Structure 1
Amino acid sequence: MSTNADDLPDPEAFPPPQTPTVTSRKSISSRTGYAWVGLVAGALILIILLIFILQNLESIRVSLFFWEFNLPIGVAVLLSVIGGALVMALVGGVRIMQLRRAAKH
């Protein structure tokens, strides 16, 4: 039995075999991973806040309506940021309630 070159399959018609690739990257797409990232980010923010407060210990006089008291500048700025965040959360909560009420109807 003889074979000529015309009977053989074309070697370019078949792609070379691929070796499987293994990646050893770990995914953080789980609740535990997200919680860990959140805790690390929160700890870094708290460290930055602590440094800010410790660098701004000069006392200032704060007046609010009929109250007057002395606070370090860092603490006064931190309290004003917290107050602003609470106002923002209140406005956002009212808007969410409006949207839920509108979605029900």
Structure 2
Amino acid sequence: MSDDRRGGDSPAWGRVGPEDPTADPATHPALRTPDPTADQPTVAVPVEGGGPDSEATTEKRAIPHTRIGGLWAALILSAVVLIFLLVFILQNTEPVAINFLWLTGTLPTGVALLFAAIAGILLVAVPGTGRILQLRRQARRG
């Protein structure tokens, strides 16, 4: 007995599409492409009157994307990153010797790496900010 449940004498591979290759997507529901707006989250909105006992129909309305929603998403992501950073710093408390020019000292490993990351961010942010300001001045003139 075969595991092939399709039946008939169709090949085991290479069969794509409807049984009828001339089927029209406008008249054949299985061939219609999905609506791109259907993937958005929807909220049921009552159309006419009524509470939970009424038989009022509901329509689906897409939830708009706002700047505040993006801000909240960024804040949540920042909080998660901050928690991971704090856990990293608290787990890496072994002291490490730091030498910079004529200065020497010891810091916990996590704190030393945090300072190194901040210095790297500043090395990128300061010249980048200067370039952005330069381009804005140039755009105002021209």
With the length of structure 2 as denominator, give the TM-score of the two structures: 0.52
Bigger relative contact order, structure 1 or 2 (CA pairs below 8 A, ≥6 apart): 1
Which residue does the alignment assign to 1:89?
125
Q: Which runs of 5+ in 2 are unaligned?
A: 1-26, 28-37, 44-60
Superposition pairs of residues 15-26 of structure 1, within 5 angstroms: 23-24=42-43
Runs of at least 4 residues of structure 1 off by over 3 A?
A: 25-28
> What is the SS of the residue equivalent to 2:93?
coil
Q: Which runs of 5+ in 1 are unaligned?
A: 1-14, 16-20
With the length of structure 1 as denominator, give the TM-score of the two structures: 0.68
The structure that has the greater radius of gyration is 1
Which residue does the alignment assign to 1:42?
78
Contact 1:57 1:73 (C-alpha < 8 Å) held by counterparts: yes
Report the number of matched residues: 85
Contact 1:28 1:34 (C-alpha < 8 Å) held by counterparts: no
Percentage of identical aligned residues: 41
Which has the larger strand fraction? Answer: 2
> What is the SS of the residue equivalent to 1:61?
strand
Matched residue type, 2:130: V
Superposition pairs of residues 44-63 of structure 1, within 5 angstroms: 44-63=80-99
Deviations 1:41-73 (A, max 9, x none): 111001100111122111101011221111011
1:88 deviates by: 0.6
**Structure 2 counterpart of 1:31, from 67, 71, 83:** 67
Matched residue type, 1:93: T
Measured on the aligned residues, the alpha-carbon RMSD in Å equals 2.3
Which residue does the alignment assign to 2:136?
100
Matched residue type, 1:61: A
The separation in 2 between residues aligned to 1:64 and 1:77, in whole angstroms, is 14
1:100 deviates by: 2.4
> What is the SS of the residue equivalent to 1:62?
strand
Question: Structure 1 101/32 Cα, relative in aligned 2: closer, same or farther at 3 Å?
Answer: closer
Deviations 1:18-60 (A, max 9, x none): xxx9x32874622321221121111100110011112211110
